[in-house]
Amino acid sequence: MNSRDILSTSFAPTAVRNMLRMFFPPLLSAVLLIGLCQQGLAQHEALELGAEEPATPALPTGGATLFQNVRIFDGKNAALSAPSSVLVKGNTIEQISANAAAAEAGADIRVINANGRVLMPGLIDAHWHMFMAAASPAIITTADPGYLNLLAAQQADATLMRGFTTIRDMGGPVFGLKRAIDEGITVGPRIYPSGAMISQTSGHGDFRARYEVPRSLSGPLSQSEIAGIAAIADSPDEVRLRAREQLRQGASHNPIESTQFTEAELHAAVEAAENWGTYVAVHAYTPAAIRQAIAAGVKCIEHGQLIDEPTAQLLADKGIWWSLQPLTYDAAVFARMSPVSQKKALEVFAGTENAYKLAKKYRIKTAWGADILGDAGAASRQGQYLAMMTRWYTPAEALKMATADNGELMALSGFINPYPGKLGVVEVGALADLLLVDGNPLEDINLVADPDKNFVVIMKDGKIYKNTLSK
């Protein structure tokens, strides 16, 4: 969730304001995301919403691909390799050789001469909303579902062309989009879906309009529930049911957010997820919300900018993942916020500095995500949010977080992992999600902020989707 985008809506209609308010809840709040991060955020129509031009169709490769004369950032080490070659067969990395010109005689191999460029893992965004990153709340709440899904497919294409070969979708109806990408019907990154955000009444994921409240137990679903954006649950049994529904549809992990759910309700979601071999992630900002989630068995905390030091140490002691986002002050967006929203935002922005300081101090397992909502322009700058991390980390540390570390978090989905295999690294046996960079991102991380210019080859699952060297 990008607070800057969510709070700048004082001019919006009541229903839209209500939706945005719920995206940035009171400072003691909690939303449950269940599932495996699903695909699906829409990119807006270019003229109307300033979205990027759709990427060119995929250029699938046949046989094998050999990257010659590359310097490798493997996702872990802070130094590049000596000139090397990397052989990809099928969808995995089969061989890495210190011979910069290595080749297999007689094999059907497509050779890419990198001329010393940097080969690195595809980027991973651990907190993305494919269905909602670029589509405005007004469009999401009023447009035809078919139109919204087409926008989502366009945004998925653009996300891959920004070098993000995997995203963990932390709330939204992206199961269909994920399937279409996996089947080659459309182009996009790997999607670890959560499905609908499970929320209590009045919680972080309660996007209902006033006329949809109150609800009766046997009454009709609200519009946001029908769309698969949210699922309202107000008891342990109801939470367990909604969690299982998302898992049945293909969720790979499970999320939650405020001191809204009780510990018993949170534990019900954890029980459902663990029975499927996966985990729960919870949107939580405050120490009370975070501690309650930990007590219930949650494995990943999203946001957490208002954490205190004892709670940070508890995360470290328990080995809990902390999915932090670089939410910081943006003067242009801040000026459009209401006074109430500005006050909340300033607390979160200030908390961001402290949160990263504590994450480093206690060596907490930290994931990176951009968390953009409702802003096509911000979504197009996804890589800039990663480059921003040098405010707290070295370029190598930030890139490790967005590759190898995030890949480790994806694997937490266990036996229902939709993409079994190693992500976020360049090593033998890993899945072949690779970027060839014109420049050294370990020296200049801002290269990732301009993917059109600097990512000359984009490969996902062994297939080449961009190759400007062939022109």
Cβ atoms of 137 and 12 within 8 Å: the answer is yes
Residue 193 confidence (pLDDT) above 50: yes
* pLDDT of res. 290: 95
* pLDDT of res. 12: 31
Structure tokens at 78: 């802070």
- CA 159 to each of CA 187, 222, 372: distance values in angstroms, whole numbers, following the listed order: 10, 30, 12
In 300-321, which positions are buried (b, 16+ CB within 10 angstroms) versus exposed (e)? Answer: bbbbbbbbeeebbebbbeeebb
- Report which of residues 191 and 63 the model is more confident about: 191
Please compute the mean of the pLDDT values over residues 101-125 and round it to a whole number: 87
* pLDDT of res. 466: 98
Map tokens 């679903």 to a residue: 221
Q: What is the pLDDT of residues 312-351, one digit of tens each?
A: 999 999 999 999 999 887 666 677 677 877 888 888 889 9
Q: What is the pLDDT of residues 125-135, one digit of tens each?
A: 999 999 989 88
Please compute the mean of the pLDDT values over residues 364-388 and round it to a whole number: 93
* pLDDT of res. 227: 64
Q: What is the pLDDT of residues 272-281, one digit of tens each?
A: 889 889 999 9
* pLDDT of res. 108: 84
What is Dmax (Cα atoms) for the chain? Answer: 71
Confidence of residue 447 (pLDDT cuts 50, 70, 90): very high
Residue 230 confidence (pLDDT) above 90: no
Name the least confident of 61-65, 200-204, 386-390. Answer: 200-204
User: Whole-model pTM?
Assistant: 0.82
Alpha helices per DSSP H over 119-228: 137-142, 145-161, 175-182, 223-227
Query: What are the residues facing 307 on neighbouring strands?
Result: none
Q: Dihedral, CA atoms, 439, 442, 443, 447, nearest 10 degrees?
A: 50
* pLDDT of res. 10: 26
Map tokens 């950032």 to a residue: 73
Cβ atoms of 307 and 348 within 8 Å: the answer is no
Q: Rounded CA gap, 246 and 169, in Å?
A: 13
Confidence of residue 2 (pLDDT cuts 50, 70, 90): very low
Please compute the mean of the pLDDT values over residues 376-384 and round it to a whole number: 93
* pLDDT of res. 256: 46
Residue 106 confidence (pLDDT) above 60: no
Q: To 5 degrees, how large is the angle CA 295–CA 198–CA 298?
A: 20
- CA 307 to each of CA 25, 340, 356, 412: distance values in angstroms, whole numbers, following the listed order: 16, 21, 10, 23
Confidence of residue 18 (pLDDT cuts 50, 70, 90): very low
Q: Rounded CA gap, 262 and 247, in Å?
A: 21
